[in-house]
């Protein structure tokens, strides 16, 4: 049986990777086999072109060992927004300084001779979880990143929905409170309450309230002070039983519930799949979120929708990039 091979480029603010994966024909819903992977710190490259060249050099090494019965279909590229998937351009994402008008698909096509497709990381994550993870088998699904940022990838009526210029799903930009942590350029935005940076801001504020009342916060002391707090440290403290850490995550959960209610009533999905921080700290975030969601959303949409943690874990970025190539192969994406 001829195996189809796919390249995936995952370009992130901290690290970037290229993977080679395969999928036997007629087994489109099975998780791809990852054969090789190269990863490097994004900031270690002198320029965007230098980073992409290093990734593509690794990709070419991966391809040299393939035989005549191993067909390489193309390359999927996952990157943070904003971008223009139709023209294959990366357009100055906030986590990638200097990546201005980068013609990434052109660079990849020229280097490999293969088709290349570009999507933002939330859309790519939605495709991966829909094909191979917690969203498998449904026709209407929302994937929420809940990591560095808070964005949504939308699968509607069995197809990815990106909007007129890749702007659909920017739920993190919605202001959910008049004041609060800053996310996506807005104080009180959903991303402000439901992202790594937002939870760190929330933790610093709530720790300050305690210390001004003369109380010590052990997990803050262990971190080395308020400025060193992170969502991961708060989650670990909650797992260790710290009541303030649990309350910080519950506050995030209550605002998450408000955001989920908007999505439920607007889109009526079968499933909402939430990644990263939610998947790690679900037991502290979800009870508060569910309480608000049940109260705020329409009863019939609440009953019909499952809210699940993402299943792909550390493989999300790799499988998201590969999923773009799988979608591109179907002719569902511009190249």
pLDDT at 41: 95
- Would you state the torsion angle of the CA atoms of residues 20, 82, 262, 286, taken in this order, to the nearest 10 degrees? 50
DSSP 188: T
In whole angstroms, give the CA distance from residue 59 to residue 37.
9
Residue 77 domain flag: yes
pLDDT at 3: 76
pLDDT at 29: 65
Same domain? 104 vs 140: no
Q: What's the maximum distance between 2 C-alpha atoms anywhere in the chain?
A: 71
Among 245, 265, 272, smallest CA distance to 146 is for: 272
Residue 335 domain flag: no
| pLDDT beneath 70, residues of the chain | 1-2, 24-29, 334-335
Any idea what the CATH number is for the domain that residue 107 is in? 3.30.420.40
Give the predicted TM-score (pTM) of the model: 0.92
In whole angstroms, give the CA distance from residue 231 to residue 202.
9
- Tell me which residue range forms the domain holding 272: 134-311
pLDDT at 26: 60
Question: What value does the CA radius of gyration of the chain take, rounded to a whole number of Å?
Answer: 20
Reading the block at residue 266, the tokens are 């607007």
Long-range contacts of 298-301 (CB under 8 A, 24+ apart): 298/264, 298/265, 301/264, 301/265, 301/268
pLDDT at 185: 87
Q: Which SS3 state, helix, strand or coil, does residue 158 take? A: coil
Same domain? 138 vs 233: yes
> In degrees rounded to 5, what are phi and psi of residue 330?
-75, -10
Same domain? 151 vs 274: yes
pLDDT at 160: 95
pLDDT at 334: 61
pLDDT at 1: 56
pLDDT at 66: 85
In whole angstroms, give the CA distance from residue 168 to residue 115.
25
pLDDT at 27: 62
Same domain? 223 vs 94: no
Residue 62 domain flag: yes
């Amino acid at each position: 049986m001829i195996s189809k091979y796919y390249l995936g480029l995952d370009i992130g603010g901290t690290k970037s990777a290229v993977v080679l994966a395969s999928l036997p024909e007629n087994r489109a819903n099975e998780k791809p086999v990852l054969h090789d992977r190269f990863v490097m710190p994004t900031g270690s490259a002198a320029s965007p072109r230098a980073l992409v060249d290093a990734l593509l050099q690794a990709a070419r090494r991966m391809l040299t060992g393939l035989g005549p019965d191993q067909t390489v279909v193309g390359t999927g590229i996952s990157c943070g927004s904003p971008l223009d998937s139709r023209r294959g351009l990366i357009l100055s994402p906030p986590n990638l300084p200097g990546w201005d008008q980068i013609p990434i698909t052109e660079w990849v096509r020229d280097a490999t001779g293969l088709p290349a497709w570009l999507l933002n990381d939330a859309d790519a994550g939605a495709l991966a979880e829909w094909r191979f993870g917690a969203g498998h088998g449904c026709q209407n699904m929302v994937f929420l990143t809940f990591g560095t940022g808070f964005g949504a990838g939308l699968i509607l009526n069995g197809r990815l929905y990106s909007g007129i210029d890749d702007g659909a799903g920017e739920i993190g930009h919605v202001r959910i409170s008049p004041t609060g942590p800053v996310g996506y350029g807005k104080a009180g935005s959903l991303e402000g309450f439901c992202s790594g940076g937002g939870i760190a801001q929330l933790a610093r504020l709530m720790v300050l309230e305690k210390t001004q009342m003369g109380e010590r916060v052990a997990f803050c002391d262990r971190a080395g002070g308020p400025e060193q707090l992170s969502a991961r440290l708060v989650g670990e403290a909650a797992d260790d039983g710290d009541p303030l850490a649990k309350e910080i995550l519950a506050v995030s959960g209550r605002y998450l519930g408000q955001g989920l209610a908007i999505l439920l009533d607007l889109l009526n999905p079968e499933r909402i799949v939430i990644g990263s921080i939610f998947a790690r700290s679900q037991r502290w975030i979800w009870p508060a979120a569910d309480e608000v969601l049940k109260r705020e959303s329409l009863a019939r949409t609440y009953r019909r929708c499952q809210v699940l943690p993402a299943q792909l874990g550390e493989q999300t970025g790799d499988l998201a990039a590969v999923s773009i190539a799988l979608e591109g192969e179907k002719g569902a994406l511009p190249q």
